[in-house]
Amino acid sequence: MFPFVKELQGLFRLRPAGNEARRGASIRFDSLGSVSDEARYSYESIDPYREIVVHGRQIETHVHHESGTVTRVTEENPWDRFDAVAREFRALSAPAIRADSHTTLPPLPSVAGYWGYGLTPFAIPVERVQPDPLGLPDAHLAFFDTIVVRIREENRTLLVSTGRPETDPARRARRAELRLRELESQVVQDTGEAGSRTSPSQSFEWTPEPRAPYQRAIRAILSHIREGDIYQANHTELFRMPTDEDARTHYAALRNTNPAHYSALFDTGDAAVISSSPELFLRVTGRDVVSAPIKGTRPRGADPESDERLQRDLRASEKDLAEHTMIVDLVRNDLGKSCDAGSVHVEPFLNVESHPTVHHLVSYVRGRLPESATWATALRDLFPGGSVTGTPKRRAVQIIDEQETTGRGAFYGCLGFADEDGRGVWNLLIRSAVWKPGELAFRVGGGIVADSTAEGEWEELAWKGSALHRAFAARSAVKG
């Protein structure tokens, strides 16, 4: 009988908070772009019953009750805690089909949040990475018992209430029923996801990093490549701009400008991670896992003929194909650490996927976990993503840390969720930003390989940064 589900015809979303007192983090996951298996479901949740906040080995667990919040602080490897969460869910697992309605539920964000790049030293053997200049935790997870699920192609919404954290069936049923009624009172008809862009809400100046320091870093990385230390590395820079908008407004602007399958907003009130990522870092369905690295991009053409020409150019580019193949091999190796021997394979390989503004070169690396593994096992073994570090990964991470001017923080980690049945989806935190009151920060960069040039990489940095800056600076006509 669990979870409790109420189906609504039409698309609904949570009512904006206004002056309501809401507890803890909130999440929103939007699958945008063309409707497909990668873009069917969108989710919203508020008022978590538990949160886990990670600062290095220090882990804060906040348990929320009606009477207040109880906090416990422990010291341990954070990946051990994530694995404990996955195993706790496995012990609680219930069927994903309601007996009374036979409605198959999609994966649910029972636990959701971001896993930042600062977790890297706990996943691979490097001593350290630079601290986050924005001061966010290394990871922040929230546990939700009520979830709004929107299914675009079917024009319907599911209101889901799991009754957690209760485990006794009678008490769980009472909580699930009560919370479902509360959730129904909090949703409103969705008036439209897309919205239209208007002129920038403020007059921002785009000031990329000085050319000389950036180019020195690129030349240093190229020297490491020539010496055989690495084959490639992903170098990035942090940019910050003032804002008087809230996180939801910037998220709506980015979502409308750059619709992506793995768009998300994780908002704690004090800070928010905003993402419009096209890249699937990890999907877990039962024991089956898949990661879909992106390496190789071309803009969409102005007409069908030029669009086809740009696709052909991407497929034929020796540089893009070589760089992509190296990253696919790295992801195969990473998944092989946690998957059954012989189960890791690539299908499809070198697939061109078209989005509203770009074509991407994507491959799907698949494998099968042993019974003893969890989603946290696969997440740790993939972390940090190969497409945002380099090959070999450990040495690339060390060189990145030497050459980048600031720590990556939440950027280039992942943002996603898992449910009690062990299913989950995580994006790679690219095309993303961190919002704090009065400030918005984002990172851009690119992959450095043997035939890269310092001048070319700086021009790419300026182009990518300008595009993201315009997206974040534009006020959306729809703030939802």
> Cβ–Cβ contacts within 10 Å for residue 435, how many?
26
Cis preceding linkage at 165, omega within 30: yes
User: What integer is the mean pLDDT of 240-252?
Assistant: 92
User: pLDDT digit string (tens) for 344-393?
Assistant: 999 999 999 987 778 889 999 999 999 999 999 999 999 999 999 999 99
Q: 347: helix, coil or strand? A: coil
CA 43 distance to own-chain centroid: 14
CA 6 distance to own-chain centroid: 28
pLDDT higher than threshold 60 for residue 164: yes
- Number of helical H runs and strand E runs in the chain: 9, 29
Q: Which of 368, 426, 374, 413 is nearest to 81 (CA)?
A: 374
User: Which residue pairs from 178-187 have beta carbons closer than 8 angstroms and sit at least 24 positions apart in sequence?
Assistant: 179/145, 179/146, 180/4, 180/6, 180/146, 182/146, 183/146, 183/148, 183/159, 184/6, 184/159, 186/14, 186/15, 186/46, 187/8, 187/12, 187/13, 187/14, 187/15, 187/148, 187/157, 187/159
Average pLDDT, the chain: 89
In angstroms and rounded to an integer, the radius of gyration of the C-alpha atoms of the chain is 22
Indicate the helix (H) or strand (E) that contains 231: none
- pTM to 2 decimals? 0.92
d(CA 221, CA 235): 9
User: What integer is the mean pLDDT of 144-150?
Assistant: 97
pLDDT higher than threshold 80 for residue 158: yes
> Cβ–Cβ contacts within 10 Å for residue 185, how many?
7
The predicted structure's pLDDT at residue 92: 84
User: pLDDT digit string (tens) for 398-416?
Assistant: 999 999 999 999 999 999 9
pLDDT higher than threshold 50 for residue 85: yes
> Cβ–Cβ contacts within 10 Å for residue 186, how many?
20
Taking the domain 4-287+373-476, which CATH number applies? 3.60.120.10
The predicted structure's pLDDT at residue 386: 95
Say which residue, 12 or 197, is predicted with more confidence.
12
Per DSSP bridges, beta strands 197-200 and 474-476 are antiparallel
Beta bridge partners of 42: 150
Indicate the helix (H) or strand (E) that contains 108: none
Percent of the chain, pLDDT > 70? Answer: 89
Would you kindly state where each structural domain of the chain is located, as residue ranges?
4-287+373-476
